[in-house]
Chains A and B, each alone.
Chain A
Amino acid sequence: MNKIIDRSIDLGPYWPQEDDDLIICRCEEVTKGEIRKAVHEGMVTLTEIRRYLRTGMGLCQGQTCAKLVKNIVARELKIAPNELESAVSRAPARPVEMRVLANEVITGGENHE
């Protein structure tokens, strides 16, 4: 969270690649090309990419694509993947329906704090 990313680096122009139409985030159907383009448009942290494209926001919550997205962004930025901070994790850590999230079991008074 404390890493500072240099946003002034010139990434050069965005050149299309042969496999740009490959789906990376299956839940939200985001392609490799869209992710690469997003980097050139200034989205350089994984949290920014997630908010911009919704990668990892679907049913699997990034369980499948998080690493793939990280690798694509890192390659575009010409850095090692582990130099990139993973996107923020926050509760609920699993997809939860709103009606469930709002339905808290209230236990008897003796257990209350």
Chain B
Amino acid sequence: MKRVELIVIGGGPAGLSAAIEAAKTGMDVVVFDENAKPGGQLFKQIHKFFGSKEHKAKIRGYKIGQELLAEAQETGVKVVLKATVIGIYEGKEVTVMIGDAIEHYKADTIIVATGASENMVTFPGWTLPGVIGAGAAQTMMNLHGVRPGQKVLMLGSGNVGLVVSYQLLQAGCEVVALVDAAKQVGGYGVHAAKLARCGVNFYLSHTIVKAEGEEQVTGVTIGAVDQNWKVIPGSEKQFEVDTICLAVGLSPMSQLLKVAGCKMIDDPKRGGTVPTVNQYGETSVNGIFAAGDVSGIEEASSAMIEGRIAGAAAAYALGYLTKEAFEMKFKNSEDALNALRQGMFGPENKGRKDLTMTEEGILLSQSLLKKGYLAEPEVTAFPGVKTKIKGIHPVIECTQNIPCNPCQDACVKGCIKIGDHITALPIVGEDSACSGCGMCVAACSGQAIFLVDENTETGYANITIPYEFLPLPEKGELGKALDRSGTAVCQAEIVGIKSAKAMDHTNLLTMKVPANMAMTARFYKAMG
């Protein structure tokens, strides 16, 4: 039996952060992860994160993963891969399966950061090959370079469903429909808008009736549901698909904590069976902590902070941190966590369907919630959208109180204001001094910022859009401009393409469209 001061179970965002924080104090730390690669879900998250600088906003998930791994190495964390923890016993004894043998450890403190697994829903045909979790599709695409299918139907309009659908499009799949039994889009509106302007149709208040196929999925039938979640007869629609992705929530993988004898509760708001924890993530068993999704489903940014808190608490428990040092670390982390948990998507507001206004008192876009895109008359109600400005200026179609502010930092001219309240909607000043650099467009994790020159001298408007598809069009190419719903509205000519290292793979396409399309054209599609 080997003795270790801290055993961290799970090498994802929470586990690695916890290990780093503890190892920094001089503690002896081992991370066990059952996968072949550490980093948990971070390495398949190719999108930019929300939040502020301290939350690593506008950095893509896999880069955050690389940073964490480098930090872990520097601080002397020992990461053991393909190591499955199979039991936690009294006195913090831990058994780990490594290769074809069991190794026995005794820890002084344990941090469980085992994350979550995907939920499933059942319908006739749900066991057919081709019905997969959205996370599985993401793993196939972004870790293994395998396209999960050609024609995909996505069930679930939460952030996972929206983000993975977009990544399916990026991988060259066709997303034939995005279906959700709820009445409104569950995830961030900006993620939904990205899909809508690519032409993905949203079917809210719909569910899957059955999957068709003998050997594998060949089609799917969906139907509208009534208030009692029953399918309304005659409302069925059929799609030809080879893949059905399910993005219907996550469940904490908390079995090890239960094995260890921690007090558990079933909290639907946190995703299922979770340990009861104090503000440091410590469970009812002294010296056993939980961090990340295992103690309640949130996202990677908050998991990393929870990990840091638990890591510092473990260090404090063993005397590696003074009370003052620990309290200061905790206060900073808690502030960062509280900032992330604000806004209409914070845990307190989770699942609320009665929100009708933003914090600023602006009516929420009903079109966004029902169809996935902003209706044209609604757009101008928001403080990031100013029209009739001469010359180039940013148009920020950010309409929900999301904790995020990189756009404010991106503009050196100070055209964009959010202020200290991180969930406030960005404001574009009337006297915008925009130079057209496009850094705000590239910095927006929600791809919700456009540069618009409403009327160039020639009676045309120039629209600069964020573009994350390959291949890039060429300058001078003629194509179609699409509106927010993905409908082709006019001809567009590509007059500029900007790709810079600082933009981190968000390319800027500038397209020339007739001047009256300035507030309509929001996406570009090559012809043919």
- Using CB atoms and an 8 Å cutoff, list the residues of chain A in contact with chain B: 19, 22-24, 26, 32, 61, 63-68, 81-82, 84, 86, 88-94, 96-97, 99-101, 103-105, 107, 111-113
Contact = CB atoms under 8 A, between A and B. Distances in A.
Contact of A63 (B3, B89, B117): B117
A105 to B, nearest CB: 5
Contacts of A104: 101-104
A65 B119 CA distance: 9
Interface majority SS on B: helix, strand, loop or mixed?
Answer: strand
B279 interface: no
A96 to B, nearest CB: 6
Contact of B122 (A24, A89, A90, A91): A24
A103 B119 CA distance: 34
Given A82-B266, A86-B273, A89-B258, A94 B84 contact: yes
Contacts of B87: 90-93
Nearest to B122: A22
B255 interface: yes
A56 to B, nearest CB: 11
Contacts of B34: 94
B133 to A, nearest CB: 9
Interface residues of B, number: 39
Contacts of B120: 64-65, 67-68
Given A22-B122, A90-B259, A103 B89 contact: no
Interface of B: 1-3, 34, 84-89, 95, 97-98, 100-104, 106, 117, 119-120, 122-124, 126-127, 251, 253, 255-256, 258-259, 264, 266-268, 272-273
Interface majority SS on A: helix, strand, loop or mixed?
Answer: loop
Contacts of B123: 22
Given A105-B102, A105-B104, A107-B2, A26 B127 contact: yes
Given A81-B268, A113-B106, 15 more contacts: A22-B123, A23-B127, A63-B117, A66-B251, A67-B119, A67-B120, A82-B266, A82-B267, A89-B258, A91-B88, A91-B89, A94-B34, A103-B102, A104-B101, A104-B104
Contacts, number: 94
Contact of B2 (A19, A86, A111): A111
B267 A100 contact: no
A105 B101 contact: yes
Nearest to A64: B120
A94 B124 contact: no
Contacts of A101: 102
A93 B103 contact: no
5 contacts: A63-B253, A67-B251, A81-B268, A86-B266, A112-B1
Contact of A86 (B98, B258, B268): B258
B259 A93 contact: yes
A100 B100 CA distance: 5
A22 B95 contact: no
Nearest to B114: A93
B95 A91 contact: yes
A22 to B, nearest CB: 5
Contact of A19 (B101, B103, B117, B124): B124
A1 B2 CA distance: 33
A111 B258 contact: no
Contact of B259 (A64, A89, A96, A111): A89
Given A91-B89, A104-B103, A96 B97 contact: yes
Contacts of A61: 255
Nearest to A18: B124
A89 B255 contact: yes
A67 B272 contact: yes
